[in-house]
Structure formats: structure tokens, C-alpha cells
């Protein structure tokens, strides 16, 4: 099932994979989010959960909102967002959703607010070329040039690229690969950049253009043994890969994949699609890895 969580962009860094390629990653604080309200077709006309993320002081919370947070036995939250879901019976008010929602190699869509650039001209906003800096050009070095014809249309067509507000809008980046998950700290690392500046609010969702991940057990705040095991095994797999790199890269790859097997089977009991989904993402990983050699000149 596809699920949503709220998060915060912490910054970017890089990770080396077992082949030694440097992968650019964005570190995202994903959750913990509290379910503040469950909306159902019967009561609200649609299925959704309301998520709260980030603490704020009670004295900064309005009285009506204080009451709303009290209903779910939650502390006041800075950000409150709604997320559509398929099955409201899986959620209950007050439940805590953590980064354990995601696993390594999952694909996610991330929505954020892009950095505001203010009122920008056409060169910055639309990549126009402007005019020459000399050769007699005056008063329109960065101008747009002609914006239309003459008496015939006698108007400017809709959608004409003109100066205006740039940035500070909602932007979604799709199919970002989850490179690493730290459940204990509620961190996920995704490959590549995400919209917005540091500390910006992000809405993280399982990729809509990929197969939905199987329903995983650890969604509540109760003890979550499975993902921790995954983490340990991945660590073990990584070190094994480092050591065995001298022998052959093939062994390194199997070393990483074999220990992860039992966990996958556990998940497969829940949902038969799990196995095939894993296999699929494994194929994608191989295809998606491009060698990043250091530059030569």
C-alpha cells in the first residue's frame, strides 16, 4: 500500500556504494508523524488521514487547534497535512508513523516548496538569451524581445513566457530512490536533490509510477524488529562487500543480497507480491548504476 509521511530536509551529502561509486543523497528527517484524524467515506466523503509533524509550543497554538490535538492525545504539531489512503481501517487516531514505512531501494515521490527567487525576468525564469552587451543595444539587454505579432491577433497569446514570480511553489520530484533508511533516527536518504531549502517541509509518498510496496507490519510505534534486522544485515553486507572486493565484484554483490533473503521471505508471507517487487527493484538498481569515475583532464 502506498503511504505518505511528512518530513524535513536536513541537507545533502554523498554515499559510496559497494562498487565505490559516489551517490549524491539528500538526508531527510521522515516523521515521526502522529495520525490526528481518520477520515472515512461514511463521515467525510473520502478516505484520508490527517498527519501532524514537528513540535510546537502549546502557547503558540490556538485554542481550537489545542482541542484538536487533545483529541488524538498528541502534543501540538507545527505542520498538519492530509494524505489520501485506500483503507482507513488500518489507521487509528494517535498512531505514530515512522520512517520504517520505507525500505532501501524503494522509490518515493517527494513534494516540497521550491526556493523563492522573487519576481524574475525572462532570462532567469525561462532561459531566454537576452541581447548583446554591446553593439548598440540599449535598454533591453535582458529583455524578452517581441511578444507577438501585429494587428492580426491584436493581442498577446495566453501562456506567453513573461517575467513573474519564480520559485516558492509546490514542486514534486518523482521516483527518487531510497538509498538508506535509519529507522532509529527516522532518517531516510534519497538519491538526488529534493525541492526547497534546508529544514523545509516535505511530503514523502511511495512513488505513484512504481508498484505499490507490500503492506509492512511495522507501521505503529510498537516494537519493530524487522527493519532493525534489515539495517544490521545491510551493514554486515556492506562490510562484507568491502572486504571481498579484492576477489571479485560478483561475490560482493551476492554477499549483500544473500543475508537480506530471510527478511524478504517474512514480508512475502504477508503479501505474495513482495518477492517479485524486490526482484524488480534489484534489476532497476543494476540498470540504474552508472559508473561515476573521478574526472580526468
Partner 1 sequence: MGINIVEMYEKEHMKRDIPDTPIGSTVKVHYRIIEGEKERIQIFEGVVIARKRAALRSSITVRKVTAGIGVERVFPIHSPKIDKIEVTRLGRVRRSKLYYLRELRGKKARIREKDQY
Binding partner 1 (rule: CB under 8 A), the pick from 1, 15, 23, 266 is 15
**Distance of alpha carbon 102 from alpha carbon 87, whole angstroms:** 18
Instruction: Report, in Å, the least distance between residue 200 CB and partner 1.
Output: 14
Which sign, positive or negative, has the C-alpha torsion 144, 149, 150, 156? negative
Binding partner 1 (rule: CB under 8 A), the pick from 145, 197, 249, 288 is 249
**Distance of alpha carbon 75 from alpha carbon 53, whole angstroms:** 10
Asked if 232 is part of the footprint of partner 1 (rule: CB under 8 A), the reply reads no
**Distance of alpha carbon 196 from alpha carbon 167, whole angstroms:** 9
Alpha carbon distances (Å) from 110 to 15, 119, 178, 223, 285: 20, 25, 11, 27, 19
Between 219 and 253, whose beta carbon lies closer to partner 1? 253
Between 22 and 258, whose beta carbon lies closer to partner 1? 22
Return the axis-axis angle of helices 261-270 and 225-243, rounded to nearest 10°. Answer: 150
Asked if 184 is part of the footprint of partner 1 (rule: CB under 8 A), the reply reads no
Asked if 245 is part of the footprint of partner 1 (rule: CB under 8 A), the reply reads yes
Size, binding site for partner 1 by CB under 8 A: 26
Asked if 165 is part of the footprint of partner 1 (rule: CB under 8 A), the reply reads no
Q: What is the C-alpha R_g of the chain?
A: 24
137-142 long-range Cβ contacts below 8 angstroms, 24+ apart: none
Instruction: Report, in Å, the least distance between residue 15 CB and partner 1.
Output: 7
Candidate ranges 13-21, 87-95, 109-117, 162-170; the one touching partner 1 (CB under 8 A): 13-21
Asked if 19 is part of the footprint of partner 1 (rule: CB under 8 A), the reply reads yes
Which one, of 54, 65, 75, 64, lies nearest residue 6 by Cα?
Answer: 54
Between 10 and 215, whose beta carbon lies closer to partner 1? 10
Instruction: Report, in Å, the least distance between residue 16 CB and partner 1.
Output: 5
Which spans of this chain sit near partner 1 (rule: CB under 8 A)?
A: 10-16, 18-20, 22, 27, 29, 185, 187, 242, 245-250, 294-297
Amino acid at each position: 500500500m502506498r503511504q505518505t509521511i511528512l518530513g524535513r530536509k536536513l541537507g545533502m551529502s554523498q554515499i559510496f556504494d559497494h562498487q565505490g561509486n559516489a551517490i549524491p543523497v539528500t538526508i531527510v528527517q521522515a516523521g515521526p508523524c502522529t495520525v490526528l484524524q481518520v477520515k472515512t467515506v461514511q463521515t467525510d466523503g473520502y478516505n484520508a488521514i490527517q498527519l501532524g509533524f514537528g513540535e510546537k509550543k502549546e502557547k503558540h497554538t490556538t485554542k481550537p487547534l489545542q482541542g484538536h490535538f487533545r483529541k488524538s492525545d498528541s502534543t501540538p504539531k507545527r505542520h498538519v497535512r492530509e494524505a489520501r489512503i485506500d483503507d482507513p481501517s488500518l489507521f487509528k487516531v494517535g498512531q505514530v508513523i515512522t520512517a520504517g514505512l520505507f525500505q532501501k531501494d524503494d522509490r518515493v515521490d517527494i513534494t516540497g516548496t521550491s526556493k523563492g527567487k522573487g519576481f524574475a525576468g525572462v532570462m532567469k525564469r525561462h532561459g531566454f538569451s537576452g541581447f548583446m552587451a554591446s553593439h548598440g543595444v540599449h535598454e533591453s539587454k535582458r529583455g524578452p524581445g517581441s511578444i507577438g505579432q501585429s494587428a492580426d491577433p491584436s493581442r498577446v497569446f495566453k501562456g506567453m513566457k513573461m517575467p513573474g514570480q519564480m520559485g516558492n511553489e509546490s514542486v514534486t520530484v518523482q521516483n527518487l530512490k531510497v538509498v538508506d533508511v535509519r529507522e532509529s533516527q527516522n532518517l531516510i536518504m534519497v538519491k538526488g536533490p529534493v525541492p526547497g531549502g534546508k529544514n523545509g517541509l516535505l511530503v514523502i509518498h511511495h512513488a505513484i509510477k512504481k508498484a505499490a510496496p507490500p503492506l509492512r507490519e511495522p507501521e505503529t510505534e510498537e516494537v519493530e524488529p524487522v527493519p532493525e534486522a534489515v539495517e544490521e544485515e545491510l551493514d554486515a553486507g556492506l562490510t562484507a562487500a568491502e572486504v571481498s572486493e579484492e576477489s571479485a565484484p560478483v561475490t560482493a554483490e551476492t554477499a549483500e543480497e544473500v543475508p537480506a533473503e530471510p527478511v524478504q521471505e517474512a514480508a512475502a508471507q504477508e503479501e505474495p507480491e513482495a518477492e517479485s517487487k524486490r526482484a524488480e527493484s534489484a534489476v532497476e538498481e543494476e540498470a540504474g548504476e552508472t559508473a561515476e569515475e573521478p574526472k580526468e583532464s
